[in-house]
Chain A
Amino acid sequence: MKLYKEEIKKTFKTRLSLGVILLIILIQVCAVVASYSKLRDNCKDVKKYNEYANAYNGTLDESMVDVNDIRLMENDFYHRKDDTVEDYFYQQYLASICRAKQVEKIGDNVNIPKYYNAIGINCMAQNLTSTVTSFFVLVGIIFIVLPVYSKDRENGMDYIIYTSYLGRKEICKVKLWAAYVLVGLWVTIYYLFSFMLYVGVFDCYDMLTIPINSIGCLLLCPLRINVLEYFILGYVLLLISSFAYTSVMLFVYARVNYTVFCIGAGVLLIILPMFLPKNGILGRVTCILPSVFGKADLIIGNAVSINIFGHEVLLAYFGAVVLLTATMMINLVYKKTFWIGRVDL
């Protein structure tokens, strides 16, 4: 137990790691504040919007419930920039109801027209379930895990570690778990902090229980979940991708002698998949790489499923299984070859 503590302590004693973490959190705070100052005027007139919405009470028809209808409405809206406010809200409202109904007959809020001020949720979704978050989280991981490894060699501690009783016996296991604990902690803090920040700043606590498909900016989600569940799912996906990424990085760190190469390899692994084409088979495959998989919009949108032996499988499920399997495989190889290149044995 004590050695775990000592390994984890290394990150908290490294200024570079702490600096990068604080910088990322600061950027996130600025992003939230900037979004709020830009959109705050749109958040205030809920009462007025609901009056608009009430005008359409009873006029909705379930026959309109179809994915294609929703897409048509959205396209229509984006092309008509001179829309009146009423048109806008009607479309938003209708789209929301259709989305909710598309998944299942939800019932609660379907027949009573109500405008949900989902601007905060929209912003949060665009931030937390996008490439931005997976990028920042994974960059943070590079610097969080780095001290657990590079410090040993840079400071000449590796020989002491290899010749110590617990060092040789436990070090591989301890470093692995210390890295995972640190990464889990980092992802949780980042995600929870961002979530609380958005909910607090945009005052959208009440929105957390509405169906995710009634949020205007998002594409259709095939799962019957509410906003909170959607973000929890996003957190789980991010956690899985982060652990997978951590495994790859540990593998790199254990073999590369220079910190700068470790950082370079880590950044390359994050950025490269982002620039790969998303269409076709390659696009589907790259969705499973950590930096792309970390986006929770894998559970919504067009590329939600892949065909496996004639069955449509949600990409998020498939990706989670692939990444967890890959993580375990890398760990096994890593444990077996940890000493190679380090000790003349």
Chain B
Amino acid sequence: MLVIKGLSKRYADKVVYENIDLTFDKGISVLLAPNGAGKTTLMNMLVTIAKPDKGQILYNDKDIYKLGDSYRKILGYLPQKVGYYKNYTAYENLMYVAALKGLREENADSIINMYLDKFGLFEVKDKKVKGFSGGMLQRVGIIGALLNEPEILVLDEPTAGLDPKERVRLKKILSDLGKERIIIVSTHITSDIEFIANKIVMIKDRKILHDDKVDTICSKYNGKIYEVFLDANEVAEFECNNYVLMQQYENNKVKIRFFMDEGADINYRSVIPNLDDVFVCEYKDCTGSEGVLE
């Protein structure tokens, strides 16, 4: 179990976290926040690249900074910008990562080949990665993070650059891996994790906004999300008076999905809130320009 206790962090004059507490158990935990909210900062602290100003991060009741190398031995990390050597083949890149993780050459070879096969890269393993697509590079990065069979897997925006097929493949693999290890994923794309996350951590204004299961978080918006069909000329006026989450054209009408805290018109159809609705509602005040920390 990975526990964050009373953690505070600031960069220069910007406070990123103020006295937060979190617990990560086996399974997939997702850090969900808009760009600039401090997801990567938290990730950096979890992988010992950055250190909190106050508070502790404990793994099995031991401070991870005191554990040092023994903590990093059971850690797998995929940074936001996937690292690779352009002139190396996929196999050579992974062999280098395997060397960093202290794997023996013969073991590394079989593990790398197994994952290359699992992630659909076996056929291109001897090709230089400079010719790879973003999705292929992302997969190479994920394999690198998995090579040491980590107990804690930290993935910063793992689905960035992946096409829908690759996203499905990754989600399936993460689901499998999450059965026996702690997986912490950061993202701002809710559809990637809605159905595989064991819990969602939403961050806002230096604090933890929600730390619960998807259903529990969504249920807080029960009776507050509605849908209505309008004529095209009515949309502008409606938008002025309501917080619109989504609009879609259907049979010459516009389907509007919106948030209304109370007193909804009986003509509006109440719908089951999803994570997208929660995300948009919770961060409606955020400009998305806080990217300095990302």
A residues with a Cβ closer than 8 A to B are 2-3, 5-6, 10, 13-15, 151-152, 155-169, 171, 343-345
Contact = CB atoms under 8 A, between A and B. Distances in A.
Contacts of B83: 152, 155-160
B102 A14 contact: no
B50 interface: yes
Contacts of A168: 48, 68-69, 72
Contacts of A171: 100
A155 B86 contact: yes
Nearest to A161: B100
28 contacts: A2-B99, A3-B100, A6-B95, A13-B88, A152-B83, A155-B86, A156-B79, A156-B81, A156-B84, A157-B83, A159-B81, A160-B83, A163-B77, A165-B72, A165-B102, A166-B99, A166-B102, A167-B72, A168-B69, A168-B72, A171-B100, A343-B49, A343-B50, A344-B49, A344-B51, A345-B48, A345-B50, A345-B51
A6 B86 contact: no
A4 to B, nearest CB: 9
A156 B88 CA distance: 14
A294 to B, nearest CB: 31
A165 B148 contact: yes
Contacts of A10: 85
Given A165-B69, A345-B51, A155 B97 contact: no
A14 B85 CA distance: 10
Contacts of A14: 87
A158 B99 CA distance: 14
Given A160-B97, A165-B102, A344 B44 contact: yes
Nearest to A343: B49
Interface in B131-154: 144, 148
Contact of B105 (A2, A164, A344): A2
A163 B150 CA distance: 12
B79 A159 contact: yes
Contacts of B68: 168
Interface of B: 44, 47-51, 68-69, 72-73, 75, 77, 79, 81-88, 95-97, 99-102, 105, 144, 148
Contacts of A15: 87
Give chain B's interface secondary structure class. loop
**Main DSSP-derived SS at the A contact region:** helix
Contacts of B79: 156, 159-160
A163 B72 contact: yes
A78 to B, nearest CB: 53
Contact of B75 (A158, A163, A344): A163
Given A152-B83, A159-B47, A168-B68, 4 more contacts: A13-B87, A159-B77, A166-B101, A168-B72
A345 B95 CA distance: 28
B49 A160 contact: no
A163 B47 contact: yes
A164 B49 contact: no
Contact of B50 (A152, A155, A344): A344
A19 to B, nearest CB: 13
A6 B102 contact: no
A213 B82 CA distance: 61
A6 B93 CA distance: 10
B229 to A, nearest CB: 48
A166 B85 contact: no
A155 B100 contact: no
A168 to B, nearest CB: 6
Contacts of A162: 48-49
Contacts of A345: 48-51
A160 B144 contact: yes
A163 B48 contact: yes
Give 3 nearest A-B pairs by CB, closest first.
A157-B83, A164-B100, A156-B83
A165 B105 contact: no
Contacts of B51: 344-345
A235 to B, nearest CB: 32
Contact of A155 (B77, B85, B95, B105): B85
A76 B88 CA distance: 62
A160 B100 contact: yes
Contact of A165 (B85, B88, B101, B144): B101
Given A6-B96, A159-B49, A13 B85 contact: yes
A345 to B, nearest CB: 5
Contacts of B50: 343-345
Nearest to A160: B83
A10 B93 CA distance: 11
A156 B51 CA distance: 20
A76 B100 CA distance: 66
Contacts of B44: 344
A257 B253 CA distance: 55
Given A165-B148, A166-B100, A344-B50, A157 B72 contact: no
A37 to B, nearest CB: 39
B84 A157 contact: yes
B134 to A, nearest CB: 13
Contacts of A163: 47-49, 72, 75, 77
A163 B82 CA distance: 13
A257 to B, nearest CB: 14
Contacts of B81: 156, 159
